[in-house]
């Protein structure tokens, strides 16, 4: 099993304000991991599969994906589905971070294979607190070896 400290986080979020807030509060929760950013679903897919602008990349670290659902180009559902049907990426843990709290959408994400579903609160303080709590959660999570390699 891999400790979270050895895991690279891919944050897939199109809202720059949310991106800054998520990163800031993960750091406040003592998450020191390398964080890569994708601003749309296609960029996330390219990163995960070393395609497009990431074609020269070779991924040597384990991954954890923080995924918004409402993304341009490809939405989070499409990214999640593509990840979970491919042998190379199906074991990568995916945490959905989205404003959508519709129970049908929550169910759909779990059916597609997400590991955790978190609704982003609208209130700034609650949002910050939720992300810090996520960071504390990540500090104790164990991730299978070789995820995303």
Range of 124's domain? 2-139
Of 102, 73, 86, give the one whose Cα is nearest residue 148: 86
Predicted local distance difference test score (pLDDT) of residue 50: 93
Q: Would you say residue 79 lies in a domain? A: yes
Q: To the nearest whole number, what is the mean pLDDT of the chain?
A: 88
At 63-118, the pLDDT tens digits run: 999 999 999 999 999 999 999 999 999 999 999 999 888 999 999 999 999 999 99
Q: Would you say residue 14 lies in a domain? A: yes
**CATH number of the domain where residue 41 is located:** 3.40.50.2300
| Number of domains, the chain | 1
Q: Would you say residue 74 lies in a domain? A: yes
Helix (H), strand (E) counts: the chain: 5, 7
| Mean pLDDT within 43-51 | 95
Non-local (6+) Cβ contacts of 148 within 8 A are: 8, 48, 59, 61, 62, 63, 88, 89, 91, 92
Q: Would you say residue 120 lies in a domain? A: yes
Q: Would you say residue 144 lies in a domain? A: no
Predicted local distance difference test score (pLDDT) of residue 128: 81
Q: Would you say residue 145 lies in a domain? A: no
- pTM exceeds 0.85 for this model: yes
Judged by DSSP in three states, 8 sits in strand
**Radius of gyration over alpha carbons of the chain, in Å?**
14
| Lowest mean pLDDT segment, chosen from 20-24, 103-107, 123-127, 136-140 | 136-140
Of 14, 89, 4, 15, give the one whose Cα is nearest residue 45: 89
């Amino acid at each position: 099993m891999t400790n979270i400290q050895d895991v690279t986080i891919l944050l897939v979020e199109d809202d720059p304000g949310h991106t800054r807030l998520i990163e800031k509060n993960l750091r406040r929760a003592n998450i020191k991991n390398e964080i890569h950013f994708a601003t749309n679903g296609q960029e996330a897919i390219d990163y995960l599969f070393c395609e497009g602008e990431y074609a020269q990349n070779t991924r040597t670290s384990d991954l954890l994906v923080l995924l918004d659902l409402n993304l341009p180009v490809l939405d989070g559902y499409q990214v999640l589905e593509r990840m979970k049907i491919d042998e190379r990426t199906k074991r990568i843990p995916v945490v959905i971070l989205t404003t959508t709290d519709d129970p049908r959408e929550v169910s759909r994400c779990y059916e597609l294979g997400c590991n955790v579903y978190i609704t982003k609160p609208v209130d700034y303080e609650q949002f910050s607190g939720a992300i810090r709590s996520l960071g504390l959660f990540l500090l104790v999570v164990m991730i299978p070896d070789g995820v995303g390699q």
